[in-house]
Amino acid sequence: MLIQEQEGWVIRRATEADVPAVLQVFDEVIEWFARLGNNHQWGTEPWSASPRRVAQVSQACALPGAWVVEAPTGQILAALVLGEPMPYVPAATEPEVYVRLLIAARDPRVRGLGRRLLAFADDQARAAGITRLRVDCYAGGTGDLVGFYESCGYTRISTFNLEGWPGQLLGRRL
């Protein structure tokens, strides 16, 4: 399935071949985080250098709900993975679409792409007849990430702590 965006971007299913490009997006975001002093969300080391992180991204890209955004140049700009809830959050009590992963390049030319991908997740839920979405995110630092999801219509459900990593579970109804 390909979905053409007005900017010329294409949202398409991810494949194993996209893993290096998705890791590159993670590496760029982590470098940006480090410049901001945000060393606790995902650490400071490039994900492409961590066998554990490479395996995580490989597994994510292989899921049926994995999507990437590709520029007309072929560059991967973002990734979105929809699927089952993460094992560290409470189980769903009704059918849902769970945002397992959302990452977008920090390039100012793609500003708003994360928000667009969350709208795409809404579209996927509607197409499946589902009215509930959930997502979890890092709740430390300035809280900006939680604020981003709230600005996209998500509300706080519960907090959790994953081995010292503060998290926030959020949900949205369509």
Q: How far is CA 157 from CA 87, 98, 113, 143, in A?
A: 16, 14, 24, 15
- What are the boundaries of each domain within the chain? 2-135
Reference 42, options 27, 57, 59, 21; nearest CA is 27
> What is the band of 1 on the pLDDT scale with cuts at 50, 70, 90?
low
pTM above 0.85, yes or no: yes
Strands 165-173 and 132-138: antiparallel
pLDDT in tens, 17-70: 999 999 999 999 898 877 877 777 777 788 899 999 999 999 999 999 999 999
What pLDDT was estimated at residue 152? 96
* CATH topology classification for 2-135: Aminopeptidase (3.40.630)
> What is the band of 105 on the pLDDT scale with cuts at 50, 70, 90?
very high
What pLDDT was estimated at residue 2? 52
pLDDT at residue 170 tops 70: yes
What pLDDT was estimated at residue 141? 84
What pLDDT was estimated at residue 17? 96
* Spatial contact of 119 and 99, defined as CB atoms under 8 Å apart: no
Query: Cα dihedral sign for 169, 83, 13, 62?
Result: positive
pLDDT at residue 4 tops 60: no
pLDDT in tens, 74-96: 999 999 999 999 999 999 999 99
Q: How far is CA 4 from CA 12, 32, 69, 122, in A?
A: 9, 28, 10, 17
> What is the band of 151 on the pLDDT scale with cuts at 50, 70, 90?
very high
What pLDDT was estimated at residue 156? 98
